[in-house]
Amino acid sequence: MDAYLQAGLDALGDSTRMAIFQKLASGPIAVNELARTLPVTRPAVSQHLRVLKQAGLVTDTRAGTRRLYQLSPEGIARLRAHFDQLWDKAMRNFQAAAEKSPPENPPKNQTHKGEKHAPAGRRSNRS
């Protein structure tokens, strides 16, 4: 696993950073605006953004006196490729297991819907 991918996964393991990451999915936003929507201080938001930036998940640009943060397309692509690869492997393994196992037959005393038949000579309690 490459270092940026590992750093990105580690960074998103923190609930505050995940919340910031999700808010940035809506588009660029300044630190002050982010801080107003989170239960942490502005300096804490800045620290979390620094970790996300070091992990390659966030970029920043200067807009006048403010700095706007946004998701990094390259970082998102790296995460997506990783999870696509995991998903593909899981689906191949599932398909192989499904093709290898024999089809299940219901027990002789059950119907295909899982309801038991009443024994011969006895009435069912169903109304």
The CA-based angle 30-31-34, given to 5 degrees, is: 90
Q: What CATH architecture is 3-75? A: Orthogonal Bundle (1.10)
Q: What span, in angstroms and rounded, lies between the C-alpha atoms of 38 and 16?
A: 8
pLDDT in tens, 1-54: 677 677 888 889 999 999 999 999 999 999 999 999 999 999 999 999 999 999
Residues 53-103 have pLDDT tens digits of 999 999 999 988 899 999 999 999 988 887 888 887 888 888 888 888 776
Under a CB-based contact definition with an 8 Å cutoff, are residues 56 and 74 in contact?
Answer: yes
Model-level pTM? Answer: 0.67
